[in-house]
Amino acid sequence: MKNITWDAYQIFLSVARHGGLTAAATATGLSGATIGRRMLDFEREMECSLFIRSQSGYALTEDGNALYERLKEMEGAARKIDSWRQDYRGSVLVRISAGTWIASFLSENFSSICNATDKFRIDLFISEQRASLSHRTSDIGIRAFEPEETNLASIKVPDVAYAAYRARNSDPATHGRWVALREEDAISAYLRWPHVHGAVTATVNRPWALRDLIAAGAGMGVLPCFVGDRDPRLQRAGEEISELRHRQWIVMNNEDRHRPEIRTVVNRMTDFLKGNAGLLGGQKPWAEAAGGAG
């Protein structure tokens, strides 16, 4: 038997956990066909049958179960080694994945999630894509929907509301004009909304630039209320756009959520977001919101 890479074991673990190729593909980012081919090669390298394949999915054979139990122990040991390595370097790294505006909100209130006495560091990864916790690329994510993956734990946090905004004291001639993200970059519903409901006269490719475009008086645009209501350059151009309101969850791996640093950061993020429920939900008037979060 030739040496087998840890990556092959990780793919096996994903198929075993999810019971099939489709869910494993979602978790790993690989195609179902690639995973299926990798598992056939893996069985040949292991010189034993690991799966019972059927239309309903992949079930583990006796050998497959034995390997799965041993690999879970290896995975736990690998996490301990990684944690030890981080401790040896001075501190453990906690990786958070969030969209532009929630990440900005956390950054502005960084002391709410990490302070000078903490033994961990924070890495904040900003992306409009769904937070992926597969292969431990992130420790904590914030999603706009409840996770379906069985290996993830979640905590419900306050809803996020959206409204249209324009520059304060803007030229009335611009009130029928809309600014937006480019359609190919408009992943979220609020970013697509102006393209469906208005005549877009200017586009950008980053959400933070959209806010600056609105503040410059280029036209109206849609923003989360906790962003627009706190910006003294902006004012609402109407009521909340109720169809855009969505729930959100803090998500983490089931097997990691009891690590002290993960538990600490998750608890602090939860307290911070719940403490700003009114602002997130668009219920605070501008004068109150402009005084700052928290």
The values of phi and psi at residue 142, to 5°, are -120, 125
**What is the predicted pLDDT for the residue at 209?**
94
Domain ranges of the chain: 6-85, 91-157+248-277, 162-244
3-state SS assignment for residue 40: helix
On the question of a common fold for 6-85 and 162-244, the answer reads: no
Query: 162-244, superfamily in CATH?
Result: Periplasmic binding protein-like II (3.40.190.10)
Please, what are the averages of pLDDT over each run of 10 residues along the chain (294 residues)?
Answer: 81 92 87 93 93 93 93 83 65 89 95 91 83 67 85 93 94 86 90 92 93 94 96 94 96 87 95 96 62 42
Residue 147 tokens read as 């996770």
**What is the predicted pLDDT for the residue at 12?**
94
Residue 185 tokens read as 């970059």
Number of Cβ atoms within 10 Å of the Cβ of 125: 13
Query: 91-157+248-277, superfamily in CATH?
Result: Periplasmic binding protein-like II (3.40.190.10)
Q: What is the CATH number of domain 6-85?
A: 1.10.10.10
**What is the predicted pLDDT for the residue at 290?**
44
**What is the predicted pLDDT for the residue at 133?**
56
**What is the predicted pLDDT for the residue at 287?**
42
b (16+ CB within 10 A) / e for 229-265: bbbebbebbeebbeebbeebbbbbbeebbebebbebb
**What is the predicted pLDDT for the residue at 294?**
38
**What is the predicted pLDDT for the residue at 79?**
76
Going by C-beta distance under 8 Å and a sequence separation of 6 or more, which residues neighbour residue 159? 245, 246, 247, 248, 280, 281
